[in-house]
């Protein structure tokens, strides 16, 4: 809160909003943006939750499997649309004009809280798409080459989004700029999306007809761990030999 509340009486408040009309407008915009973003994010989370529990909720036989899968797809698409709206509020031309002309130096934190929220919107949108593509390949069985092309184009867009957010952070923070590193996570998400829609790979994004091993030894890769296992017999067996 930058100024005294216009609705709540606070004793010894020396800063009246009427004395700083420009900053007051910024503050009210902040509050409105935060509330509308939280509301849309909450609704998107509800849609994702409905999609996640659809199979369990209707497992008593109330709906056919195809109907449940269709309902799950409907909820995932609804979440996707809500995230698209949130994204529009960040990257549209009017929104970009407001953001890049924002007097962020007048606010504590250099806009980090706002930037964190923006990165979360981008990441959550990609997570929703990942679930949708997984449903298309594993359950609905209607994924095709068009999905692969779509993801490629989408990742070009996401790359530009990261450039936008880096530029915005530099504009807001100036010499105090310190990159948050969220672009690396976007690239990892992009790799997962491409693997899921790659027709050469199986629906889990793995190459078919291959055996994958895992181990609990964090100090060695899988192949090194199992090479040692195969090359060296257990000590117990060695001790029992004459």
Check residue 8 and give its pLDDT. Answer: 47
Check residue 12 and give its pLDDT. Answer: 55
Does residue 122 fall inside a structural domain? yes
Check residue 217 and give its pLDDT. Answer: 73
Number of domains forming the structure of the chain = 1
Q: What DSSP line would sit under the chain, residue for residue?
A: --S--SSS--TT----GGG-HHHHHHHHHHHHHHHHHHHHHHHHHHHHHHHHTHHHHTTTTTS-HHHHHHHHHHHHHHHHHHHHHHHHHHHSHHHHHHHHT--GGGSGGGGHHHHHHHHHHHHHHHHHHHHHHHHIIIII----HHHHHHHHHHHHHHHHHHHHHHHHHHHHHGGG-----HHHHHHHHHHHHHHHH-TTS-TTSSPTT------S-TTS-HHHHHHHHHHS--HHHHHH--
Check residue 93 and give its pLDDT. Answer: 93
C-alpha to C-alpha distance for 50 and 77, rounded to whole angstroms = 12
Does residue 240 fall inside a structural domain? no
Check residue 128 and give its pLDDT. Answer: 92
Check residue 76 and give its pLDDT. Answer: 93
Domain that holds residue 58: 17-208
> In tens digits, what is the pLDDT along the chain, a chain of 242 residues?
444 555 445 455 565 666 667 777 777 777 788 888 888 889 999 999 988 888 777 767 666 777 888 889 999 999 999 999 999 999 999 999 989 988 888 777 888 888 888 998 999 999 999 999 998 888 888 888 899 999 999 999 999 999 999 999 999 998 888 887 788 888 888 998 998 888 888 777 777 776 666 677 777 777 777 777 777 655 544 444 44
| Cβ-proximal residues to 225 (8 Å cutoff; 6+ apart), any chain | 213, 215, 217
Does residue 77 fall inside a structural domain? yes
Does residue 9 fall inside a structural domain? no
Check residue 213 and give its pLDDT. Answer: 64
Does residue 22 fall inside a structural domain? yes
- Joined together, the tokens standing for residue 201 give 């790979």
Does residue 225 fall inside a structural domain? no
pTM above 0.85, yes or no: no
Check residue 141 and give its pLDDT. Answer: 83
Does residue 195 fall inside a structural domain? yes
Check residue 1 and give its pLDDT. Answer: 44
Does residue 4 fall inside a structural domain? no
Check residue 82 and give its pLDDT. Answer: 93
Structural contact between residues 221 and 228, judged by C-beta atoms closer than 8 angstroms? no
């Amino acid at each position: 809160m930058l100024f005294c509340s216009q609705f709540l009486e606070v004793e010894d408040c020396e800063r009246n909003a009427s004395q700083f009309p420009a900053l007051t407008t910024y503050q009210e915009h902040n509050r409105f943006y935060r509330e509308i973003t939280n509301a849309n994010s909450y609704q998107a989370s509800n849609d994702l939750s409905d999609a996640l529990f659809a199979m369990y909720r209707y497992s008593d036989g109330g709906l056919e499997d195809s109907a449940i899968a269709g309902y799950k797809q409907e909820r995932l698409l609804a979440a996707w649309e809500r995230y698209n709206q949130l994204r529009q509020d960040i990257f549209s031309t009017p929104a970009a004009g407001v953001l890049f002309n924002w007097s962020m130096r007048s606010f504590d934190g250099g806009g980090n809280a706002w930037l964190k929220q923006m990165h979360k919107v981008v990441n959550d949108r990609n997570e929703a798409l990942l679930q949708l593509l997984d449903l298309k390949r594993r359950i609905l069985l209607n994924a095709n080459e068009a999905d692969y092309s779509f993801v490629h184009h989408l990742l070009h867009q996401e790359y530009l989004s990261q450039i936008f957010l880096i530029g915005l952070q530099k504009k807001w923070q100036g010499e105090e700029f310190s990159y948050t590193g969220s672009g690396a996570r976007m690239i990892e998400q992009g790799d997962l999306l491409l693997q899921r829609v790659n027709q050469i790979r199986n629906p889990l994004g793995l190459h078919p007809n291959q055996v994958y091993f895992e181990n609990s030894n964090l100090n060695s890769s899988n192949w090194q761990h199992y090479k040692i296992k195969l090359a060296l017999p257990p000590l117990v067996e060695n001790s029992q030999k004459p």
